Amino acid sequence: MREPEPDSASKAAVDRLRRLETRVDALAEAVEVLARGLEGSPMAEPENHPARDAARRAHELLLLAKSAGRDG
């Protein structure tokens, strides 16, 4: 027996769910990068800025995810 074709509302819901999952994955990755940057050692050299570098990388990840969401 053949399964019925999903209607357009079902297809739209699946597409929205996939986009949401992609954005949540990107957000989780950005939070992980920030957390690693904030875990910087208290013995780190003053010229090292792991939190700043992590924040910049997290921002880049979020921008990439946002632009990918527009393209997809």
Predicted local confidence at residue 49, as pLDDT: 76
CA torsion sign for 6, 8, 9, 10 is positive
The CA distances from residue 32 to 17, 18, 26, 67, in Å, are 22, 21, 10, 20
- Side chain identity at 66, as an amino acid letter? K
**What is the pLDDT confidence band of residue 33, given thresholds at 50, 70 and 90?**
confident
Joined together, the tokens standing for residue 19 give: 């986009």
Q: pTM for the full model?
A: 0.64
Residue 29 has pLDDT above 70, yes or no: yes
pLDDT tens digits, one per residue of 38-67: 776 666 666 667 778 888 888 988 888 888
Closest CA to 58 of 18, 26, 22, 24: 26
What's the CA gap between 14 and 30, in Å, rounded?
A: 24
